Amino acid sequence: MKQANMKQFQPLLLLACGVFTALTGCGGTSGPKTVDVTGKVSLDGTPVDSGQIYFRAEDGSNTYATKIEKGAYEAKVTPGAKKIEIIGYRDIPGKFVEVNPGEKEPAREMFIPRQFNSDSTLSLNIGEDQSKLEENFELKTKG
């Protein structure tokens, strides 16, 4: 008898789920406006092969991060003034670390100077009216 009662409510339950989905939306474009920011990152003329780039809102409200791969990056970032921090990693020749017992991997080091990350003076202003922006960061430690 209880199973028969449950079957009576199944169509009502499906209808309620459909109404809820319609009211809450599905896959819409909610959220803050973002700009597609792309570019290249090099240090003293050599592309940064592996790393990360951070776009930190100057007011501290948000941070966007993305990978740097083979000297290039792509990110979706909200408009406004951003502080840029760049981190790069490279293998240390001849050095290895044991991450898991018996598994050796090349040891890596962070090689981008502090003036481009923790003490960065790099900045970028992304306009409200922009949908795409290309910004290259050609970092120089010499001359």
The domains of the chain, with CATH numbers, are: 35-139 (2.60.40.10)
**pLDDT beneath 50, residues of the chain:** 1, 6, 9, 12-15, 17, 19, 21-25
The answer to whether 136 and 88 are in contact (CB under 8 A) is: no
Instruction: Answer yes or no: pTM beyond 0.85.
Output: no
Residue 80 pLDDT? 95
Residue 40 pLDDT? 98
Residue 92 pLDDT? 93
Residue 27 pLDDT? 52
The answer to whether 17 and 63 are in contact (CB under 8 A) is: no
The answer to whether 120 and 98 are in contact (CB under 8 A) is: no
Residue 142 pLDDT? 80
DSSP letter for 116, please: G
Which tens digit of pLDDT belongs to each residue from 54-88? 999 988 889 999 999 999 999 999 999 999 999 99
